[in-house]
Structure 1
Amino acid sequence: MAASGNPVEDFCQEATCSICLDYFKDPVTIVECGHNYCRACLAQSWGPLEQEASCPQCRAKAQPQQLIPNWLLANFMKLTKKLSLHGKEGLCQKHKEPLKLFCKEDQSPICMVCNLAKEHKDHDVVPAEEAAQEFKMRTRTEREQMIAGFRELHQFLKEQEKRLLIQLQEVEKEIERERE
């Protein structure tokens, strides 16, 4: 596959079956040419006439009974899925486009194609970086308010402690007087 210049895109392309255009599921390798596909995609592409099977990419004759499970690619897919869940620059699951926008109504990142779809048509959408800055500012403000609230609470508790200690001293003095 051709390199796009974006490592995340290149990584995702390498993890994608050229038949279903989705991440590999149960990947297999065609022995004759070395190309990889999802087992189900390949079976569907060949149909019932497996004796005429060929690689969908290079058209090399293929022996369906000699497909090799690609465990290395299967493990790679597990890592890819983990990375896509934790990656900073994610891709839209639906369109495989970078999530560069943020829909304020749905409170979720979206791609440029999603932005044109009717489900987000009338929504307030901003660039993801702008939304991140807004979130940081809001978080900072909330943090400062929380700290101020804790300071007030701490001051209140100090005053209560002082008042209760004075009351306790007075009770102790009263007890001492009664004892005498």
Structure 2
Amino acid sequence: MSLKMDYSSFPRDCHTMDTLERQLICPICLEMFSKPVVILPCQHNLCRKCANDIFQVSCGPSRGTTLGSSGRFRCPSCRHEVVLDRHGVYGLQRNLLVENIIDIYKQESPLLKPECPTCEEHEDEKINIYCVTCRVPTCSLCKVFGEHQACRVAPLSDVYEQHKSELTDGIRTLVASNERIQALIAELQNTCRNVEDNCKARKQTLCEKFERMAGILEERKEIMLQRVSYEQAEKTRQLRALSEAYEARVEATSKLVNTALQASEEPQVPLFLQVGR
């Protein structure tokens, strides 16, 4: 299915076109999207080749260069994880709208793009080589007659491809490193959860043990209190019985004393002897 658009209504000023171009840059290769363009469920776009390169790097060497393989893919823009089917990256949906916008942009952009920059030393001479020694772009006349005669130079396209390749490799390395770090973070989080679960279980076990010990101590306390109460009651009973016996003896002794006093006061001898007997 192709999308038709009215070119006459397409914005043509340089600022708008530059803004549009930035929206059409792949976050991996930093170039304009190369078709086919795939769209992820998070609505971010990638060149399918770039997406496949990242997927192969994240899968590791065991996966090789297999184009169709299921697995998980992280969006390099938002880190949203996408579950791929058996077709792998090639099973992602193409963004035909972006592809058509790219076609329109490429048709319109030559009218708005500035010309190739020229050399400051040689007027109207385009910059077409790269000074490897000084690490600056320059023109052919600077190499033949100018300040870069003794320098080593290389074609701009070669240096561009080299730098682009190094940048792409660096991006792939960073993406792979991020994947490893994400895996490490997940492992650390899992370890933290295990530590929390283990400590929770240990706390529960300790609480149960102390509750059992508290129950045993409470039971022993009741038994000992009952024993003390029994001993108290028994000793009190014995002491009260002994006290009552002594009180009865004191009462009997008092009566005997009273009788003896009465007898001692008897004036008649026969009666005194009779009472004393």
TM-score (norm 1): 0.48
Looking at CA atoms only, which structure, 1 or 2, has the larger radius of gyration? 2
- Pick the structure with more helix per residue: 2
TM-score norm. by structure 2 comes to 0.33
